[in-house]
Each structure stands twice: as structure tokens, then as C-alpha cells.
Amino acid sequence: MLGSVSIITFVAIFVVVMALIYAFSGGSVIMSERLGRLWQPPSQPRKTGLKESRKQVAAAAVNWLSKLFPSSPEQTTKVDPRLIQAGFRRPEAASAFRAAKVITILTLVGIVFVSGIWRGSPVIYFLIAVVLGFMLPDMWLSRKVKARQQALRLALPDALDLLVICMEAGLGLDQALLYVGQELRIAHPELCEEFDLVNAEMHMGRTRLDALRSLSTRAGVEDIQGLVATLIQTDRFGTSVSQSLRIHSDDLRTKRRQRAEEAAAKTTIKMLFPLVFFVFPALFVVIMGPAVIRLYHMFVEAK
């Protein structure tokens, strides 16, 4: 009896842990993907047929949704900042986002109607479905914005180090941004995309200051805004760009260490709920199980 209880407890804990790992993992190991891309010889054609077909299907769906749900300039201006910060730069992204809200609302209302749970209180259940359908796309978009901003925040110190090296080697700021965007494309694609947009805007005729301000607006990250302010002040007052970038890089690394220390200090509070709901019950079963079984047998024999 004791052995079976221990085995069942171990299996249950193992299943719960593996489910949590699978739920919170990204579904693919980033390091293995990078090593696979580096290991693959240049002459070998990559298997991108399925990915290209998915992109074509997604583009066709987005175009259809943009025609079905056209957005006015006021709505586009209101929604665009979050979409741009999340990495969606296509013109029909605002229309697709509005369509996603409508489709989500209709889907949840349909689920409530088909399941029949609305019979108890139709107004409340349908109202909850409509509110959830309206809020879920906003929550998903906010999560995408935070994930992209976190990726930009983590990539900026490495990019600044390489940018300082390029500037001290004799490259100008424009050429250094272009070189950094090429070198860090595999490790930090989000930041390299932003640098490519800065170079594209400058090639199209915008001034460097306007392109940097546009970068600050698109990213929405405090560290990048500080970098842009540093570059603008350096260009305005004529000071050394490489020295200013080195000082800013040291400041960013200090902030990075402080964020890591803050996250480490919060782990004790975050571990409280898994300990209470997952670890402690298993420990109680293992520790108290034999005693409970023995007491049960004692009471049965006493009767």
C-alpha cells in the first residue's frame, strides 16, 4: 500500500512538472535553432516551402480582413502605436486587429449559445462573452509588446558594445548601425530590424535626428530612449560619440545587473504559491501517508 502511494505521488508530481515545463516553454529551443542555421552549409537550400506557404496564407487572410473591416484614419492612429511596438508594421494591421476583436466576440458568444449555459442568466453570460471577446485581443497585443520590448532591452547592451568597437575602429554612426544590424541578426533579430529601419529612413532622405526619434517612438523602451537622447545630444554639442556610447553602455550594464538582482529578490515570493499548492501536498502525502495508514489499521483491528 505504501509503495503504491509513493509511486502514484511520484508520477503525479512528474506529470505536473512536465506539463508546466511544456506550457511555459516556447515550443522550440532557440539555441538549437541558431546552431542549426550556423551548421547548415550555405550551398544547401533551406526547407522554407512550408513557412513561405504559411506566410502567403496569413498575408491573404490579413488582406481579406482589411477589406472586410476597413479602418478610418483616426482608428488607425489610435491603434498603430501598440501594433508598431509589437512588430506589426503592415498597413492593414489595424484592420486585422479590429477584425480579430469582432471574430473573438462572435466566437465566444457562439460558444455560450451552443453550450447552453446562457439559460441560467442570459444577460450576464452574453455580456461576459462580449467583454472577454473585446479584452482578449488587447491582452494578447499587450503581451506581445512586452515580450518585444524585453527582447530589445536585453539585446541593447551587446549591440552597444559592438557599436562602440565599430565607432572606435573608424566607422561612422550610420555605417556602424548597419554593421551591427548585419552581425547580430541571428542573436537579436528584433533590435537589428529596428536598426535596419533607421538606416532605411536615412537612405530615404530623413535626417539622422528624425530617424533616431522614430526609433525611440517605435521601440517604446526606456533604455533605447536614453540611447537616442545621448546620440542627439552628442550630435548637437559635437562631443565624442564613442566615449558617450561607452559611458551609456556601462550605465546599461549597471541597470541590467540591478534588474537581475531585483528579479532574484522576487523569487522567494514567486516560489510561495508552487510550494503551497504542489510541493507541500506531495510532502504531506509521503510523510503522513504511512502514519495515516497505520492508524487506520489500528482502529480497524481495535473494532
Within the chain, how many helices (H) and strands (E) appear?
13, 0
Residue 44 φ then ψ, to 5°:
-80, 125
Query: Domain-by-domain residue ranges, the chain?
Result: 153-270
Closest CA to 195 of 146, 239, 241, 156: 156
pLDDT attached to residue 64: 62
Residues 6+ apart with CB under 8 A from 67: 95
Closest CA to 82 of 135, 4, 14, 148: 148
Q: What's the predicted TM-score (pTM) here?
A: 0.66
pLDDT attached to residue 44: 45
- C-alpha 55: how far from chain center: 20
- Asked if 174 and 199 touch (Cβ cutoff 8 Å), the reply is yes
pLDDT attached to residue 273: 85
pLDDT attached to residue 69: 57
Mean pLDDT of the chain: 77
Which sign does the torsion angle of CA 203, 204, 209, 214 carry?
Answer: negative
202 pLDDT higher than 70:
yes
Residues 6+ apart with CB under 8 A from 10: none
Instruction: Quickly state the pLDDT bin for 89 (edges 50, 70, 90).
Output: confident
pLDDT attached to residue 40: 53
> Residue 239 corresponds to which amino acid?
T
20 pLDDT higher than 50:
yes
CA–CA dist 275, 253 (Å, integer): 33
31 pLDDT higher than 80:
no
Instruction: Quickly state the pLDDT bin for 34 (edges 50, 70, 90).
Output: low
CA–CA dist 62, 272 (Å, integer): 43
Cell 558594445 -> residue: 161
